[in-house]
Amino acid sequence: MTPPNTTLSQAPQPPRKVRIGLGLSAFPFESARAYFRWIDLLEDRGVDSVWQTDRLISEQPFLEAMSAMAAIAGRTERIKFGMNAVVASFRDPLVLANQCATVDFLSGGRLLPVFGVGAARAPELRRTQLEAAGRGRRVDEMLTLMQRLWSEEQVDFEGEFFRYHNVTIAPRPVQKRLPCWIGGHSAAAIGRTARHGTGWLAGLRTPEQIEPIVERIHAAVAAEGTQIAHDHYGAGFPFYFGDWDARIERRAAASKALATDGFDPRRYFAVGDADTIVERCEQYVAAGVFKLVLMPIAQGDAELMQQTRRLIDEVIPRVEREI
C-alpha cells in the first residue's frame, strides 16, 4: 500500500533485475545436433533465456518460431524462451493461442511470448495473399482474443476480423497470467503495449533511440491505467569478441537498411572485448532496458559456441544484477 501523501511514481519500487538471454535470427548452425548442443550449453550454464526471430519466407534458413519453442521446451527443464517477435498478423489467433498455451503447459510455465504487427514491406505480405492494410487492427483483435482464451472458460467475440462463439481451449497456460510482450516502436505499438502488454521488446534500436520510447510507454501505461513491471522492458543487439571486419560491416549495413533515420550500426553492434560488450549492456540499462537479448555473430558451429562461452564467462556475471 502506498504511504499517505506519496504518489505512485514516488513509491518505492521493487528491485529491478538485469537479465541477459541469447537470441538467433537466421539458423547459423550446420545441423540440428549442433543447434541442440548450443541449447544445452545455455541450459547447463544458467543463461536466463533464449529467443528465436520469426520469419516465414527467407532465402536463409530460419527456424519457425513456434516449432522452435516446442523443441526447446522438450529439450530443457530450466531456461525460459521466447519469440523475438512472432508476427501475429501472419497467423490465426486460435491456432497461435493454442500453440502458446500448449508450449507453456508442457514447459511448466517457461514461455515468454512477444508479439508484433510486422513491417508493411515484409516478404510474407508482398509475396502472398496476406494484406498489409489493417494489420494493426487485426493484431489488436488477436491480442484481445488470445488473452481471453488463455484465461476464460468460454469466449464469445464479434469483431472486425474475427467472430467466435462459445470457444474454449485446454489445457490453458501454466502461467497466470501468460506474459504478453509487445514489439514495435510506433505510436500504435506504444498504445498496444499499454493496452495489452506485460512487457516490451525493442527492435533495431540504439540505446539513444530506445530511451524516449521507454519514456513514452511509461506515459501511455499511466494514461491507460495498466501496469508493466519496470524490468519488463527489453532490447537486443549483436555482439562479437574480436575486431570489425568485412563480414560484420555487411551485417551492419543490412541492419542500417532496415532501421530508421539516425541509426548508427556502431552504436548498435557491440564488437570488441568483454569491456566493450559490458559497456553496451550498461548503456541499454541506463536507457531503461533490463532484459537484454544478445545475438552472437559467428561463422560455423565452433565459433558460435566459442562466442557464446565467452559471453557467459566474461560478460553475464558482470551485468546481471539487481538495481
pLDDT at 9 over 50: no
Give the residues across from 195 on adjacent strands. Answer: none
What is 18-322's CATH topology?
TIM Barrel (3.20.20)
Q: Could you read off the pLDDT of 234-256 as tens digits, one per residue?
A: 999 999 999 999 999 998 998 88
Q: Exposed (0-12), middle (13-18) or buried (19+): which is 53, by Cβ within 10 Å?
A: buried
pLDDT band, very low/low/confident/very high, at 75 (cuts 50, 70, 90): very high
pLDDT at 102 over 50: yes
Give the residues across from 115 on adjacent strands. Answer: 86, 182
Q: What angle do CA 28, 33, 37 make, to 5 degrees?
A: 80
Of 88-92, 156-160, 196-200, minimum mean pLDDT range: 88-92
- Mean pLDDT (whole number) for 270-284: 98
User: So what's the pLDDT on residue 302?
Assistant: 97
CA-to-CA distance for 19 and 117, rounded, in angstroms?
A: 26
pLDDT at 71 over 80: yes
Do you know the residue count of the chain?
Answer: 323
pTM, entire model: 0.91
User: So what's the pLDDT on residue 51?
Assistant: 97
User: So what's the pLDDT on residue 293?
Assistant: 98
Whole-number average pLDDT of the chain: 91
* One-letter identity of residue 124: E
- Mean pLDDT (whole number) for 286-294: 97
CA-to-CA distance for 113 and 177, rounded, in angstroms?
A: 12
CA-to-CA distance for 242 and 271, rounded, in angstroms?
A: 6
pLDDT at 212 over 70: yes
Query: In the chain, which residue ranges form alpha helices assigned H by DSSP?
Result: 32-44, 65-75, 93-106, 123-126, 135-151, 187-196, 207-224, 246-258, 274-286, 301-310, 316-319
> What percent of the chain has pLDDT above 70?
94
- Mean pLDDT (whole number) for 184-209: 95
